[in-house]
Structure 1
Amino acid sequence: MENGIGLDVVQEAIRTVDFLLSQNRSRYPGDLPPTHPFKLSAWREGKTRMESDGPFFEFQDSSAVTDPLEETLELNRAYAEALLIHEQLHQVKFDPRMREELIQRALGILPATELGRFLEIHSCAAALPRNIADSNERLLEAFNLITRRFGEASALAYIMLIVAGLRARSEFENYGRKIDLLFQKVVEGPAVAQMLEMVTLNGRRAGFEPQFRLLVALRERLWQMKPSRLAP
């Protein structure tokens, strides 16, 4: 084969990655951060970590129903798996953080960050800004498409950025990073982190009080971050 890599070597690399993914699958959702959308949606639906079906997106290939975003997500998942195979072939080298992200994505776990979600969405033709920006109907269709997989918050943020005039992938990357930095500053507050962990760990069994205290902690954290804030 080209570059001196034989078919048997490639097949061995594929088997190695398959084994790697199967060994890592059991780590999730336990190893996901409490702020991962899967965990946040799980407690809203009244599920605990153990009761949830899992954070793995599985593409349903059906000729009857075509979801362009789901097709794109599956392509991106396969691309992450292919990159892991390339690493096994010593054609590329990833640092531990990047390798972990690729393992999660190859397993079908959707991105934990707004930056990652924006880039996944932007790679879908049905949500590409230049294809939908001039049509209210297509904007609404894209909003519904994104909501089904990523939730209303990411869908609304993405569409609002389009309405604000953003088009290029680099622009969405920049704003996604800014949103993530703000979000991280909010949730890294000790009071917020403690209540968030309690709520996501116990689901709705945590009861009303912890959820209310989480909202209070978020409000206080945002108020602390407000420049030149006035006394309430």
Structure 2
Amino acid sequence: MWENVTYTKAQAKFKYQQIEAEPQNCSPRLVKPPFDKLREIMINEANTFLKNEMKKINSYAFDLHMGLILYRVLKEEYLFNERLAAQDEIWRFLSLEVFPDLVFERSGMNDLRFYKGTRRIWLRSIWWYIHLSWQGSEELTFATLKDNTSDEIMQLIDRSGSGGYRVELTRELMRQYKLYASSNIPKLFRRVLKLNTARLNMIEPSLVEGGIKAYVTNLYDYFLNDVNKIRETSSVYANITKN
């Protein structure tokens, strides 16, 4: 099935230009099996989500919901895996031939989100976000991610590193972020990822005493300790001036 998907960047550009000419009518006339079933499931899920007038398509909540559905259906029904997820042509095909209307409704006429941006292709970004954050079940993953924002998606998928994504590490990073996100440290996740990128040049997380979990805890502690020191200093200063 997937081996028959060939969709070059030139083909994608041509299709995108067709959609650009009449974006409001870009729903595909015919999606051939087996991708017709995938489209049906995803479109139904999108419509169900948006029945609640408080929920918007241009939102992180929509990305998270659709990412979880896409991840589950591709895995269970289409034998999808990391090797396939790394192929740009698959995401270009899905974006432009199976879900052009959905991508347009979510992102407008943005070529980066359809085919041109590699990691920024919308469908690709939400699949990898879920994969890199997976906590063992859909329910636990949702609970871990529900309070995040679109910035966390971009920060996570944009920092693959020279050796590619380290899935066990990113999942632990996200698990602990859930614990520390309320610490009120500005852009904590972004700071931790930058520190992680620097340290990976010198440290192998799995070889740290305590393993990957201890390594990640140390990353967060680096910033949390600084905040605690500032708070302690402020408290001491406040007591001195009060007296």
Which band: TM-score by shorter chain? 0.3 to 0.5
Relative contact order (alpha carbons < 8 A, sep ≥ 6): 1 or 2 greater? 1
TM-score by length of 2: 0.32
- Structure having the larger proportion of residues in helix: 2
TM-score by length of 1: 0.33
